[in-house]
């Protein structure tokens, strides 16, 4: 009996402590949140608001360290709203856990199309605050409206209006043209012209092969880089109409001759790809694939303007010079296309300071902010910004002036369904299989069709 009582006592002791522990566990959820955002008082007086801004430290921040801090400081100076900045290369890992605990930053600058797909998850969960009204707000410290500062067309695509209902949820921030990068020095030396059609592309491949058996036509860093490639390809083959139908998974779209041409070009390109590519198409080794272009072992690769900075310390062939071209035209006389890669800034639906957050987003388009971002080489869709570019960047951003069509927009958001892969898994990752021969073109097409049917059935909006 005595033993029983002592056991009981011990048990109550443990339980009561567990209960205390449980309580402290409960209150500890906001605690780490508090450490992330030092002061977010519940109903603050207007001038005493502190917003939390989470921004991805990408190549631009690397090129001009302190870029985001400077913009935040300028915002505080203008409005009196304090900013707590979180700027990290692995932003998802830094803000992810506290967001799962219910603590959201006020503004997040993080694009779609990243491997962790955090922004996509927020879109799928309808967890983003609508910012259509920000477009008609006056920019803090200036007398113009936000919409007057954004180049037309940039707030009309699925990149900023994911549900296709004319409402804007994501603010268009930095854009950069994507295309095929090559060694312009080599082309000058050999007297080659950059192919204007895919037929010329295949001819060039044979010419290069005859010159040096180790010189292949194509490589790619990872399959993820095919997103911009595929968008531009669809646009150049079928124009805006086909592009819009394909990105909304229209019924029968993959049976059209345009779609067949896209699949054929990628499959043929796979056969012209340097065979070592898939073995290095992972996060650990992708720079070695980029190195293939620097070493003249592959002529073209799909990439973005950041490649110049990313590979600036890498060894290269004599006379190497970066060149960038749009995707060749589908038929002779047609025009090439280049995908416009657009990063977004957005406000989580559960941001604690919605109004201040909207002011911050508006401020991102002020002359002051644009000037700071430009120092890092980041270009916003604001008129006149590309005029001040220098060096390689001037060349790259001129791609649309040289006759290439700009493709903008991305695959429409669909409700997540168990067993249905992401856009990357369905459309892009199989390219590795095409190159190494574990997947046939027909198999790929039928996989795309099956997945596309499911995506259409679960379209959002």
CB closer to another protein out of 179 and 278: 278
**Please, are residues 224 and 424 in contact by the beta-carbon 8 Å criterion?**
yes
Residue carrying structure tokens 């067949």: 260
**Please, are residues 106 and 98 in contact by the beta-carbon 8 Å criterion?**
no
Q: For another protein, which stretch binds (CB under 8 A), given 60-68, 324-332, 387-395, 417-425?
A: 417-425
The whole-angstrom separation of Cα 124 and Cα 285 is: 31
Residue 315 within binding range of another protein, rule CB under 8 A: no
Beta-strand relationship, 170-177 and 337-346 = antiparallel
Using CB under 8 A, which of 63, 85, 276, 395 touches another protein?
276
CB closer to another protein out of 184 and 460: 460
**Please, are residues 432 and 278 in contact by the beta-carbon 8 Å criterion?**
yes
Residues 418-457 that bind another protein (CB under 8 A): 418-419, 421-422, 425, 429, 432-433, 436, 438
CB closer to another protein out of 315 and 419: 419
CB closer to another protein out of 121 and 136: 121
Residues 175-234 that bind another protein (CB under 8 A): 222-223
Q: For another protein, which stretch binds (CB under 8 A), given 243-251, 299-307, 393-401, 412-420?
A: 412-420
Beta-strand relationship, 107-109 and 337-346 = antiparallel
CB closer to another protein out of 13 and 144: 13
Show the 3-state SS of 217-254. EECCCCHHHHHHHHHHHHHHHHHHHHHHHHHCCCCCHH
Residues in the chain: 461
Residues 331-390 that bind another protein (CB under 8 A): 350
CB closer to another protein out of 1 and 42: 1
Using CB under 8 A, which of 38, 80, 116, 446 touches another protein?
116
Residue 9 within binding range of another protein, rule CB under 8 A: yes
Q: For another protein, which stretch binds (CB under 8 A), given 130-138, 181-189, 263-271, 281-289?
A: 281-289
List beta partners, residue 54: 86, 108
CB neighbourhood size of 27 (10 A): 9
The whole-angstrom separation of Cα 158 and Cα 99 is: 25
Residues 11-50 that bind another protein (CB under 8 A): 11, 13-14, 17-18, 21-22, 25
Residues 83-112 that bind another protein (CB under 8 A): 96, 99-100, 102
- The residues, any chain, with a CB within 8 Å of residue 201's CB and separated by 6 or more, are 195, 217, 328
Using CB under 8 A, which of 70, 120, 343, 405 touches another protein?
120
**Please, are residues 417 and 454 in contact by the beta-carbon 8 Å criterion?**
yes
Residue 96 Cβ vs another protein, minimum distance, rounded to whole Å: 8
What number of chain residues touch another protein (CB under 8 A)? 55
Residues 250-269 that bind another protein (CB under 8 A): none
CB closer to another protein out of 108 and 234: 108
Residue 404 Cβ vs another protein, minimum distance, rounded to whole Å: 30
Q: What are phi and psi of 296, to 5 degrees?
A: 60, 30
**Please, are residues 157 and 382 in contact by the beta-carbon 8 Å criterion?**
no
Residue 407 Cβ vs another protein, minimum distance, rounded to whole Å: 25
Residue carrying structure tokens 């009996």: 1
Residue 133 within binding range of another protein, rule CB under 8 A: no
Long-range contacts of 135-144 (CB under 8 A, 24+ apart): 135/168, 137/358, 137/359, 137/362, 138/362, 139/362, 139/363, 139/365, 139/366, 140/75, 140/78, 140/79, 140/359, 140/362, 140/363, 140/366, 141/78, 141/79, 141/363, 141/366, 141/368, 142/366, 142/367
Residue 285 within binding range of another protein, rule CB under 8 A: yes
CB closer to another protein out of 17 and 77: 17
Q: Which three-class secondary structure state does DSSP give residue 357?
A: helix
Residue 125 within binding range of another protein, rule CB under 8 A: yes
Residues at the interface with another protein (CB under 8 A): 2-3, 5-7, 9-11, 13-14, 17-18, 21-22, 25, 96, 99-100, 102, 115-118, 120-122, 124-125, 127, 222-223, 275-276, 278-285, 288, 350, 416-419, 421-422, 425, 429, 432-433, 436, 438
């Amino acid at each position: 009996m005595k033993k029983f009582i002592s056991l009981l006592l011990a048990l109550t002791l443990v339980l009561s402590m567990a209960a205390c522990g449980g309580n402290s566990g409960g209150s500890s959820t906001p605690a780490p949140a508090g450490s992330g955002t030092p002061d977010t008082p519940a109903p603050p007086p207007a001038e005493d608001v502190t917003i939390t801004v989470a921004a991805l430290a990408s190549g631009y921040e690397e090129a001009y360290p302190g870029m985001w801090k400077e913009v935040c400081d300028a915002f505080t100076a203008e409005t009196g709203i304090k900013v707590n900045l979180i700027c990290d290369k692995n932003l998802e890992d830094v803000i992810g856990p506290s967001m799962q605990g219910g603590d959201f930053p006020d503004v997040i600058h993080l694009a779609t199309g990243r491997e962790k797909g955090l922004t996509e998850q927020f879109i799928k969960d309808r967890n983003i605050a609508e910012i259509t009204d920000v477009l008609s707000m006056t920019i803090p410290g200036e007398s113009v409206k936000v919409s007057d500062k954004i180049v037309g067309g940039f707030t009309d695509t699925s990149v900023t209006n994911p549900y296709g209902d004319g409402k804007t949820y994501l603010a268009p921030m930095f854009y950069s043209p994507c295309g095929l990068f090559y060694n312009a020095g080599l082309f000058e030396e050999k007297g080659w012209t950059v192919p204007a059609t895919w037929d010329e592309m295949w001819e060039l491949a044979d010419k290069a092969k005859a010159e040096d058996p180790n010189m292949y036509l194509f490589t790619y860093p990872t399959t993820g880089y095919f997103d911009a490639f595929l968008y531009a390809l669809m646009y150049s083959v079928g124009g805006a109409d086909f592009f819009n139908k394909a990105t909304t998974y229209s019924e029968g779209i993959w049976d059209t001759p345009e779609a067949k041409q896209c699949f054929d070009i990628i499959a043929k390109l796979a056969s012209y790809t340097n065979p070592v590519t898939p073995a290095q198409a992972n996060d650990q080794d992708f720079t070695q694939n980029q190195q293939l272009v620097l070493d003249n072992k592959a002529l073209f690769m799909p990439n973005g303007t950041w490649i110049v900075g990313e590979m600036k310390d890498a060894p290269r062939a004599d006379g190497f010079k970066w060149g960038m071209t749009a995707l060749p035209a589908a038929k002779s006389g047609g025009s090439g296309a280049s995908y416009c890669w657009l990063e977004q800034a957005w406000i989580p639906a559960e941001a604690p300071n919605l109004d201040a957050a909207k002011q911050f987003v508006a401020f991102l388009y002020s002359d002051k902010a644009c000037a700071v971002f430009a120092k890092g080489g980041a270009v916003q869709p604001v008129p006149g910004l590309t005029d001040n570019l220098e060096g390689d960047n001037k060349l790259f951003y001129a791609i649309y002036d040289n006759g290439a069509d700009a493709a903008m927009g991305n695959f429409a958001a669909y409700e997540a369904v168990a067993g249905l892969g992401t856009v990357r898994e369905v459309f892009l990752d199989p390219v590795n299989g095409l190159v190494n021969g574990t997947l046939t073109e027909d198999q790929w097409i039928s996989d795309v069709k099956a997945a596309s049917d499911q995506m259409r059935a679960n379209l959002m909006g």
